[in-house]
Structure 1
Amino acid sequence: MKCRLLKLAGILVFSFLFLPSARSQNFNYADSLRFDAKYPLNLRVIKDSTATAVRVQQVEFAVNKRYNASAVITTPLKKGKYPLIIFQPWPGQGDEFIPEAIKFSQHGFVCISIDGPWQWQGFKERSKFFEDYPDFIVHSIWATSRSIDYLEKRPEVNPQKVYYVGHSYGATLGGLLVGVEPRIKAAILMAGLPNISRSMQEDELGFWKKDKEKDPALFNQVVQKLSQMEPEVYLQKSKAKIYHQIAKQDEFVTAKQSREYIEATPEPKQVKYYDTKHTFNQAAATDRFQWLTQIAK
Structure 2
Amino acid sequence: MPNSFTRILLLFSLLVLLKVSALAQETASADATRKAFLQLIDHPRVPLASVVKVLPNVDGLRQEQFTYATEKTQRVPGILLKQEGNQRRSVVVVLHGTGGTKEGQLSVLKTLASQGFIAIAIDARYHGERQTGTGSTQYVAAMLQTYRTGQEHPFLYDTVWDVLRLIDYLETRPDVDASRIGVIGFSKGGMETYLAAAVDPRIAVAVPMIGVQSFR
The alignment's TM-score, normalised by the length of structure 1, stands at: 0.51
**Which residue does 1:43 correspond to in 2?**
50
**Which residue does 2:88 correspond to in 1?**
81
Q: How many residues align?
A: 169
Q: Which of 89, 109, 118 is the equivalent residue of 2:126? A: 118
- Whether the 8 Å contact between 1:46 and 1:59 is mirrored in structure 2 is yes
Structure 2 residues not aligned, in runs of 5+: 1-35, 147-151
**Which residue does 2:116 correspond to in 1?**
108
**Which residue does 1:66 correspond to in 2?**
73
Amino acid in the other structure paired with 1:96: G
Query: Which secondary structure state, in structure 1, belongs to the residue aligned with residue 156 of structure 2?
Result: helix
CA RMSD in angstroms, aligned pairs only: 2.6
- Whether the 8 Å contact between 2:50 and 2:67 is mirrored in structure 1 is yes
Matches within 5 A, 1:120-269: 124=132, 127=139, 128=141, 130-131=143-144, 132=146, 134-194=153-213, 199=215, 202=216
Amino acid in the other structure paired with 1:57: E
- Whether the 8 Å contact between 1:175 and 1:194 is mirrored in structure 2 is no
Deviations 1:114-172 (A, max 9, x none): 11111265654754254258334222112111111111221211111110100000011
Query: Which secondary structure state, in structure 2, belongs to the residue aligned with residue 182 of structure 1?
Result: coil
Amino acid in the other structure paired with 1:170: G
Amino acid in the other structure paired with 1:172: M
- Whether the 8 Å contact between 2:123 and 2:129 is mirrored in structure 1 is no
Structure 1 residues 74 and 122: CA distance shift in structure 2, 3 A:
closer
**Which residue does 1:55 correspond to in 2?**
62
Q: Which structure has the larger Rg over C-alpha atoms?
A: 2
Per-residue deviation, 1:53 = 3.3
Q: After alignment, is 101-110 or 126-135 more displaced? A: 126-135
The alignment's TM-score, normalised by the length of structure 2, stands at: 0.68
Q: Which of 88, 94, 100 is the equivalent residue of 1:93? A: 100
Structure 1 residues not aligned, in runs of 5+: 1-27, 203-297
Query: Which secondary structure state, in structure 1, belongs to the residue aligned with residue 104 of structure 2?
Result: coil
Distance 1:140 1:93 in 2: 13
**Which residue does 2:13 correspond to in 1?**
none
Distance 1:174 1:99 in 2: 19
Distance 1:53 1:160 in 2: 26
Structure 1 residues 99 and 122: CA distance shift in structure 2, 3 A:
closer
Query: Which secondary structure state, in structure 2, belongs to the residue aligned with residue 79 of structure 1?
Result: coil
**Which residue does 2:8 correspond to in 1?**
none
**Which residue does 2:33 correspond to in 1?**
none
- Whether the 8 Å contact between 1:47 and 1:58 is mirrored in structure 2 is yes
Q: Percent identity?
A: 21
Amino acid in the other structure paired with 1:104: L
Distance 2:75 2:37 in 1: 20
- Whether the 8 Å contact between 2:70 and 2:76 is mirrored in structure 1 is yes
Query: Which secondary structure state, in structure 1, belongs to the residue aligned with residue 164 of structure 2?
Result: helix
